[in-house]
A = this chain, B = another copy of it.
Amino acid sequence: MRQFVVVGHDTPTTPDFALDDLAGGAGRLDVLCRCVSAALFLSHDLREDVRVHLVLGDAITVVFDGATVRRLNPDERSTAALVRGALEDREEAIGHEPVETSPGVSLYRLGFEATLERLAEDGTVVQLHENGDPVVDRSVPEDPVFVLSDHHEFTDDEATLLEDVADERVRLGPRALHANHAITVAHNYLDTEGFERY
């Protein structure tokens, strides 16, 4: 299982945003939608062994599960519509009990810290960061949980938390990438078992 956690710093936590303005009024939800697409899509196929966790604000995480997701398309707008649909049902989730808001899309009332704690039990938490160790110098992790930020840096609190929780901190190349591009490179690294099996 590969998992990706993406922190959205300006993204909405209620469904009152316009699908026509994802990069503006919706607080760059477009970035997170591209991350969902990068994490889950293959050509004419889905990666069933992948989950993506979008952290929205302080207390909401929307999860896309590649094994069960339906009605997901690669474009930003339709993915944002699934996020909006999840937020419409946010009152139905309580504590650690999620609500499945459409097939394979669930909403948890958990923020970044609680989401990380929940996932740290599942595998190796890897922070993708331009100052990390080159990924080629590390062994390919078992059940990686990659943690990324949107177009903003992690806040000081998030960075401190990650220092405690992350098992590894790696970089994927010499140039800093957008979060969705980093997800694509991470998949390629894992698909090829460290860029070796093509």
Contact = CB atoms under 8 A, between A and B. Distances in A.
A181 B184 contact: yes
Contacts of A75: 22-23, 30, 76
Contact of A74 (B42, B178, B185, B192): B178
B198 A171 contact: yes
11 contacts: A20-B77, A22-B75, A38-B184, A41-B178, A43-B130, A43-B175, A43-B177, A43-B178, A135-B198, A173-B191, A174-B192
Identical copies in the complex:
2
Contact of A22 (B77, B174, B184): B77
Interface string A161-196: 000000000011111111001001101100110011
Nearest 3 CB-CB pairings of A with B = A134-B198, A43-B176, A195-B195
Interface residues of A, number: 45
Contacts of A44: 151, 176
Contact of A198 (B74, B173, B178): B173
